[in-house]
Amino acid sequence: MEATLPTNKFGAKVSFEDTATAFAAKTDADLYKSELLFKAIHYNWLVKTGTGFVKFALNAGFPITGLLRSTLFKQFCGGETIDECARTAQVLHKYGVGAILDYSVEGEKNEAAFDQTEQETIATIHKAAQMRDSIPFSVFKTTGLGPMPLLEKVAAKLAQPSPLPWLLSEQAGWDRLRQRVDNICRTAYEQKVRIFIDAEETWIQDAIDALAYEMMEKYNREQAIVYNTYQLYTVAGLGKLRQARTLAVKNGFYLGAKLVRGAYMEKERQRAVEKGYPDPIQPNKKATDDDFNEALRFCIDNLQRIALCAGTHNEDSCYYLAVLMEKYNISPNNQNVYFAQLHGMSDHISYNLAKAGYQVAKYLPYGPIKSVMPYLFRRAEENTSVAGQSSRELVLVSRELARRHKRK
Ligand SMILES: Cc1cc2nc3c(=O)[nH]c(=O)nc-3n(C[C@H](O)[C@H](O)[C@H](O)COP(=O)(O)OP(=O)(O)OC[C@H]3O[C@@H](n4cnc5c(N)ncnc54)[C@H](O)[C@@H]3O)c2cc1C
């Protein structure tokens, strides 16, 4: 078996070249649709104009949800409801890939919506407990559970030696937010379902970190249930991961660590310029890549204390982690080392890793079509052309269609 695998520069015993495995779950019709979609979103101007048109059409009530459902939504989302996602999760499970139900409604601003997100996240945990083999994690974003300005204020207070004025209404809002996070994490603990807390903008991240460690102190005594997320595109990311491990050792809990590069680079840089503080982002891509891979090594080196999830579409980082596991004699099916990708992207990584016996899961974003549009627009933008080249997804889908039909 090993001898048949192509070698790669890391010498990993897994290869991402095999598109037959990557798209085994897809029919020809699925692939033609994906190819068409990636060809369309390949053009930056088309995505920009299309995004504007879709926003306008949805607000004006034009009947375009059917079209969205069969294109962008089908490619990148698991369904509109938990039950629809559960069906998608069963398909993934056939190929050894887990699902992470991600309620992706964004931009909510009132208490009723925050309560609704809390209830929905708790429902995903119960679904994961029912379908343990196919849904290994749940996830939430803290900004879905409380107001962004409040998180910003808490983060600023945590950073300032002299406390900023703090209103009674803000204290009440913070208490409600903490309670929602606690209700979710306690349910996860009781149901023994691991839960990710996503990382967001640096100016609110200290507040999210504080909540994450409070939860880990409570619920990670026997195993890592709550995972915080570390963004290695920040200059401070690697140091924060190391400090978290020190805190975990000192206070006797297990550290759940999801590693990502980070999703808000342009916004971060722009705000730093506008407000006149040093750019929190690494000076270049290589610095991000180096810290990401060093963070992988650090987690593997401390696996007796840390449970790791590598949230990445970067092939080199995935190969590197596979090689590290081998070097440290860690079995591919170790429950404390997960690879994770987003639904509709990098199936060549997910499915090939799963076939080789590694633990893999995919975020399955879901929610009413109109509410998940911001998520879908980001995915479309991510897949526009870079320096005139076709996006990686388009190349992979076309290559598989060519293999199936001997196309040139
Ligand atoms: C399962 C999963 C969960 C995720 N959860 C989160 C989350 O909680 N929070 C979050 O912020 N993101 C999250 N992301 C998104 C992630 O942060 C990345 O934006 C995305 O995965 C692209 O990075 P990559 O590792 O796949 O690799 P690549 O495509 O190799 O790297 C692209 C990334 O490198 C960094 N980068 C690019 N250019 C530069 C530059 N000039 N200087 C410095 N850095 C640069 C940026 O972070 C960019 O997104 C998640 C991704 C996945 C797959």
Centre of ligand 1 to C-alpha 156, Å, is 25
In three-state form (DSSP H/G/I as H, E/B as E, the rest C), the secondary structure along 306-340 is EEEEEECCCHHHHHHHHHHHHHCCCCCCCCCEEEE
Fold of 78-366: TIM Barrel (3.20.20)
Task: Please state the domain extents for the chain.
Answer: 78-366
Per-residue pLDDT of the chain (408 residues; tens, 9 = 90+): 343 444 566 667 788 989 999 999 999 999 999 998 888 877 666 667 767 777 776 777 776 777 778 888 888 999 999 999 999 999 999 999 999 999 988 777 899 999 999 999 999 999 999 999 999 999 999 999 999 999 999 999 888 776 667 888 999 999 999 999 999 999 999 999 999 999 999 999 999 999 999 999 999 999 999 999 999 999 999 999 999 999 999 999 999 999 999 999 999 999 999 999 999 999 999 999 999 999 999 999 999 999 999 999 999 999 999 999 999 999 999 999 999 999 999 999 999 999 999 999 999 999 988 888 888 888 888 777 565 566 888 999 999 999 999 765
Distance from C-alpha of 255 to C-alpha of 317, rounded to nearest angstrom:
21
Would you call 142 helix, strand, or coil by DSSP?
Answer: helix
Number of other CB atoms surrounding residue 233 within 10 Å: 22
Residues with CB under 6 Å of ligand 1 are: 198-199, 229, 231, 233, 260-265, 281-282, 284-285, 288, 311-314, 340-342, 363
Distance from C-alpha of 299 to C-alpha of 307, rounded to nearest angstrom:
8
Distance from C-alpha of 23 to C-alpha of 348, rounded to nearest angstrom:
7
Helices 202-219, 237-251: crossing angle, 10 deg rounding: 20
Q: pTM score, two decimals? A: 0.94
Pocket probe for ligand 1: among 197, 202, 260, the residue whose CB has the most ligand atoms within 8 Å is: 260
Closest ligand 1 atom to residue 260 Cα is 17
Structure tokens at 122: 């708790």
Centre of ligand 1 to C-alpha 66, Å, is 30
